[in-house]
Chain A
Amino acid sequence: MQNLLCTNPSFSPVLIHNFSLLSFIYSVALPRMSSKAHSSNNIAHARRTVQQLRIEASIERIKVSKASADLMNYCSEHARNDPLLMGIPASDNPFKDKKPCTIL
């Protein structure tokens, strides 16, 4: 694995060892922080995660059988208006070539 070291904020030249894998380096733009600040950052992040999970856990859900039935109903209601599903005559479809006319 290669190590690309990028110290912030000034981007100094990188050290490159031989590449055996392709990986993507994303330098985190944090100044050198005190250990306390580092922990409180983690806490803030954890708090946000917990809050987000609380919101997600509290939403109203319905059964999969009901949801599936609704999806099926929608499909059948709109099926006849679906040109790709039903196929429409070539004369109505601007992309399909019309049959050549015969001159009598």
Chain B
Amino acid sequence: MCQHVESTEINCLLCKNVRLLICLCSPFRCRSLPAQRKIYMRSPPIPEMATQEVQLNETLAHLKTESETLKSKLEEERAKLHDVELHQVAEKVEGLGQFVMKTRRTLKGHGNKVLCMDWCKDKRRIVSSSQDGKVIVWDAFTTNKEHAVTMPCTWVMACAYAPSGCAVACGGLDNKCSVYPLSLDKNENLAAKKKSVAMHTNYLSACSFTNSDMQILTSSGDGTCALWDVESGQLLQSFHGHAADVLCLDLAPSETGNTFVSGGCDKKANVWDMRSGQCIQSFETHESDINSVRYYPSGDAFASGSDDATCRLYDLRADREVAIYSKESIIFGVSSVDFSLSGRLLFGGYNDYTINVWDVLKGTRVSILFGHENRVSTLRVSPDGTAFCTGSWDHTLRIWA
């Protein structure tokens, strides 16, 4: 039996009326077991087909062959431009020296696994959310807690700070994304001012404000991403294309335009146009669920971290994977990735409780950091790049510099 199963008798998230012996829904799925497959319920076998059926089948076969041809054409086009590897081009770049990064602050206060965190643009405040439903806003310099909200659900898997610093958004098993305006008055009950913005049909896995406080982008276990207007709660655009749960998303840096990338349990990372809702590029080289995606600071590439224990760099203009960050000794999945300010360093939080620091250009590991006592679930570099923060299942957050 997997040791990560929390309880053997809980309500199924899908068939809410039925108590199952073991809940098999994805938030409780053990990620350390290889490639868990979902069983899709198939409708009963199709009876004898009429002639119309035969015609439809021919069209289907025709479409299938066309899609196969297109796929191989795509591979061909991509391979034509693959003249050199990134690490070969980077041989002439100076190597990096030794890095000494230590835990500078430990934020204690969560009663259960920390699942997500985000920095405020003031480079000082942090919002974090945990399995027990608590969302806490910290001052990272002093380690004081500034605000605390208790969500009505457990497993708050997503939280985000608004660009203005005046609100936080969070959500999880409640299938919603709620926005809480932060007030200066510490005694005010934040929960009273809560505004429900997004509504999905399955758990919320990630959320992010766009350039303003007015719009939120969310991704969900129902396989879709969506863009919402905060004020009215209206759905502005939805993004369909993933064949399974979407686990993460990241918006392109504001200078480079209106796109975002999402990664999911279907092993695909998709790049979307926010205005049209169209998927413009898709990458499928990972061997397992993609847990985290992050844009390169220039916006021309993005990195992904997956349960297959590798991080990969995909270049958007070359339309292919250009680097893999892996080692034979690393067998545990990556839960979160982020770049340093220049994009030279890639930080990865792993399920084996460590943080590996990679040289993005050369593809080598420059450092491994220890400190957490359980798996690292979230990792973000601060907006000015002076430090990065990690959250872990050991109930703490650590600031490293």
Residues of A within 8 A of B (CB): 4-6, 11, 13-14, 16, 19, 22-28, 30, 32-33, 35-36, 38-40, 42-43, 46-47, 49-50, 52-57, 59-72, 74-79, 81-85, 88, 93-97
Contact = CB atoms under 8 A, between A and B. Distances in A.
B315 A46 contact: no
A87 to B, nearest CB: 8
B84 A65 contact: yes
Interface string B17-49: 110111011100110010011111111101101
Interface in B73-88: 73-74, 77-78, 81-86
A53 B70 contact: yes
A76 B342 CA distance: 8
Contact of A64 (B44, B84, B401): B84
B288 to A, nearest CB: 14
Contacts of A81: 341-342, 385
Contacts of A63: 81, 83, 318
A69 to B, nearest CB: 6
Contacts of A70: 298, 300, 317
Contacts of A56: 74, 280-282
A71 B53 contact: no
A24 B24 contact: yes
Nearest to A80: B342
A75 B49 contact: no
A18 to B, nearest CB: 10
B343 A71 contact: yes
B297 interface: yes
23 contacts: A11-B16, A16-B21, A23-B24, A25-B38, A36-B53, A50-B67, A59-B280, A61-B77, A61-B319, A62-B317, A66-B318, A68-B322, A74-B300, A75-B93, A75-B361, A79-B342, A81-B342, A83-B384, A84-B101, A85-B341, A85-B342, A88-B386, A95-B140
Among B42, B93, B401, chain A packs the most CB atoms within 10 A around the CB of: B401
Contact of A11 (B15, B74, B343, B388): B15
Contacts of B84: 64-65, 68
A45 to B, nearest CB: 9
B108 interface: no
Contact of B141 (A47, A64, A95): A95
A9 B25 CA distance: 19
B267 to A, nearest CB: 15
B63 A43 contact: yes
B66 interface: yes
Contacts of A78: 297, 341-343
Given A43-B63, A74-B300, 13 more contacts: A24-B24, A24-B37, A26-B40, A27-B41, A32-B43, A39-B57, A53-B67, A62-B81, A68-B315, A71-B343, A88-B386, A95-B105, A95-B141
Interface in B289-310: 296-298, 300-301
Contacts of B280: 55-56, 59
A30 B386 contact: no
Q: What 7 pairs between A and B have smallest CB-CB spacing?
A: A82-B342, A78-B342, A53-B70, A46-B63, A67-B318, A68-B89, A95-B104
Nearest to B319: A61
A30 B401 contact: no
A22 B340 contact: no
A84 B401 contact: yes
Contact of B340 (A50, A52, A85): A85
A59 B273 CA distance: 13
B18 A93 contact: no
B135 to A, nearest CB: 23
Contacts of A95: 104-105, 140-141, 386-387, 399, 401
A26 B318 contact: no
Contacts of A96: 104, 401
Interface in B319-357: 319-320, 322, 340-345
Contacts of B26: 24
